[in-house]
Amino acid sequence: MSVVTRPNILFFFPDQHRFDWTGLNGDLPVRTPNLDRLTAQGTAFTNALCPSPLCAPSRASLAAGLEYPRCRVANNQQDYPLDQPTFYGMLRDGVDGIGGGYYVAGVGKFDLQKASSNHSLDGRALVAEWGFSDGIDNKGKWDAVASWDGQPHDPYLAYLDAHGLAQAHIDDMLRRKGRAYAETTSTPLPEEAYCDNWVADNGLQLLVDFATDRPWFLQVNFTGPHDPMDVTARMRERWEGVAFPRAHACEAFDDATRTRIRQNYAAMVENIDRHLGRYLDTIAARGELERTLVVYASDHGEMLGDHGAWGKSTYYHPSVGVPLVVAGPGVSAGRRYDGVVTLHDLAATFLEAAGVPVPGHMDSRSLWPVLEGLSQSHRDYVLSGLVTPRRAWHLVYDGRYKLVQIEGEGPILFDLQEDLWEDQNVAAARPAVVARLNEWLNRELA
């Protein structure tokens, strides 16, 4: 890495932002002006996959810098193991006495204690154990509702409760239960109390107090654009009358409801982008923008009705694909990289930027050779998968072909060059491709 090391690092990490809902996709009326600005100033990865299309395992894989089969969090019923190192702790403490010294902070939905949900009212229950110097960890949208027993059990509901808003929010969310997509009305919460706005404000409050003589890392974990489709009245009004392409192979709901779902999803994406602009302005006011690496990604995607599916947890690209943009010192400007990368490659990328050795046990590979324009290739293939008590599947993807192996079923092979929507299983017609990809997959699962 030729660039001067140890920049500040801002990591924007929304929940369930699918890969194609950014300004890079000219077929959608998505408004992401600040992300578009980062894209023009940096490198956009157009073929990035998450390690697992579910919150806890994807975030665990990133934190550990390990492939999903080795990250020790199979699904949302497992917490991140506290004896497993994180890149956060390595940024803070170094590796074998080398590097470290970063002030590592985070806000929002960490989802590293998804199973036990052992949150504290100040949001700091386990942030030090995960490797952070400070942070405010809140529950996700549905987890917060599930924990409510008349009393708050995380900092966001504690905030709402203190402002007399908790019960109205709980009642609204329970009304949406089972109708997370069909119910597209606005939240009763005022603008400042909307969860993503509250998360953004928490992060900005931490940021303005960061010391200027020490490098910092700040991860902002938004709860949106995860379902339900709850937006504020202001957010909703901005998308009235905006048309969207119809979901692929979707018969659920009527046309008006499908459009409203997409409008609300786009509104959540736009709102997060608005906060990105606020952070960039704050960093610029601190005089630090030129030495701050800015990264935007998501833990997994969102089907939005494609193939009749909603949410994530499946192997289709809208579920496993994620946006990934990197900008800042040393990064090639205005570049689109179409080779395959995986979300957990950010672990090694952050460590290398910080001058911290990447441990040999990590599967993560630094993106810096690509970011600096020194390499045209990064990986031959990437993996994703999900194992639950009901179903287990894994996939391997080489940038054109995606092989999916589902426990107890035959192989599924998609050719995304010829079949963008993954409608045709061509496994029987291309056995040599299946054999090649299967060899890679079995090697990783061994």
For residue 60, what is the enclosing H or E element? helix 55-64
Residues 292 and 34: their CA atoms lie apart, in Å, by: 15
Instruction: Find out whether 272 and 222 touch, Cβ atoms under 8 Å.
Output: yes
For residue 413, the surrounding DSSP H or E stretch is strand 412-415
Lowest-pLDDT choice from 4-8, 118-122, 312-316, 414-418? 4-8
Residue 305 pLDDT > 80: yes
Q: What are phi and psi of 134, to 5 degrees?
A: -160, 165
**Span of 144-148, 354-358, 361-365 with lowest mean pLDDT:** 144-148
State the pLDDT confidence band at 3, using cuts at 50, 70 and 90: low
CB 427 within 8 A of CB 411: yes
What are the pLDDT digits (tens) for 228-260? 999 999 999 999 999 999 999 999 999 999 999
Segment 30-86, tens digit of pLDDT: 999 999 999 999 999 999 999 999 999 999 999 999 999 999 999 999 999 999 999
Q: What is the pLDDT of residue 4?
A: 56
φ, ψ for residue 393 (rounded to 5)? -145, 155
Q: With DSSP H G I counted as helix, E B as strand and the rest as coil, what are the percentages for the chain, rounded to 5?
A: 35, 15, 50
CA distance 435 to 86: 35
Q: Give the confidence band of 307 by pLDDT, cuts at 50, 70, 90.
A: very high
d(CA 136, CA 108): 6
How far apart CA 39 and CA 129 sit, in angstroms, is 34
Q: Quick one: average pLDDT of 286-307?
A: 98
How far apart, in whole angstroms, are the C-alpha atoms of residue 172 and residue 309?
24
365-415: pLDDT as tens digits? 999 999 999 988 999 999 999 999 999 999 999 999 999 999 999 999 999
pLDDT computed for residue 166 by the predictor: 98
